[in-house]
Amino acid sequence: MNMDLDARPGWLSSGDLESARERLPILYVDVVPVRVDNRGLVTHVGLLLRAMPDGSISRALVSGRVLYAERVRDAVVRHIEKDLGTLALPRLAPSPHPFTVNEYFPDPVVTGLHDPRQHAVALAFVVPCDGTCEPSQGALEFSWLTPAECASEAVRAEMTGGQDRVVMAALAHVGALP
């Protein structure tokens, strides 16, 4: 049964979400999509290009909220499919574990990870995607970049909210830092 997300039990209205964001940390997932070679080494990292609420354009990770009564694994798959399409073919471990936990704060100096709307706690995953990835849900573009390109000052400067730090941590985690 495919329910419309807005009708799903536990989905918050815009007003309720705004109220919750003012009072509670909200659970998110951050996903770093990767391509791997036949030895399992990361060859490319996938980044979205999005128009941000402030009018700027930024490279971004796949990310989003975990819904009430939703397994984290299901949230990871849902956000990959929402942002990259149903043909992305993510390859998740039977029991996925985040490589780190990120805390985004309204104040950008607390952790260097910034979300002006809220205090968000994001479980971060590196997920190999074997299929065709196409930008969706308002993304302008999706690009596969090499680890060296992701670590470059030019690409890091295109990311906002500290997400460049998340990409660098992911590259370090998988042994792909240039």
Task: Kindly state the helix (H) or strand (E) to which residue 63 belongs, with its residue range.
Answer: strand 62-65
CATH homologous superfamily of domain 27-173?
Nucleoside Triphosphate Pyrophosphohydrolase (3.90.79.10)
Which of 13-17, 78-82, 95-99 is least confident? 13-17
Domain boundaries along the sequence of the chain = 27-173
Cβ contacts of 85 within 8 Å, gap of 6 or more: 132, 133, 134, 136
Q: Write the DSSP assignment of 42-57 as a string of letters.
A: EEEEEEEEEE-TTS-E
Rounded Cα distance between 28 and 124, Å, is 9
Residue 35's DSSP bridge partners are: 44
Q: The pTM is what?
A: 0.87
**Single-letter code of the amino acid located at 62:** V
What percentage of the chain has pLDDT greater than the value 90? 69
123, 62 Cβ separation under 8 angstroms = no
151, 176 Cβ separation under 8 angstroms = no
Q: What is the mean pLDDT of residues 75-102?
A: 95
Q: What is the mean pLDDT of residues 101-117?
A: 91
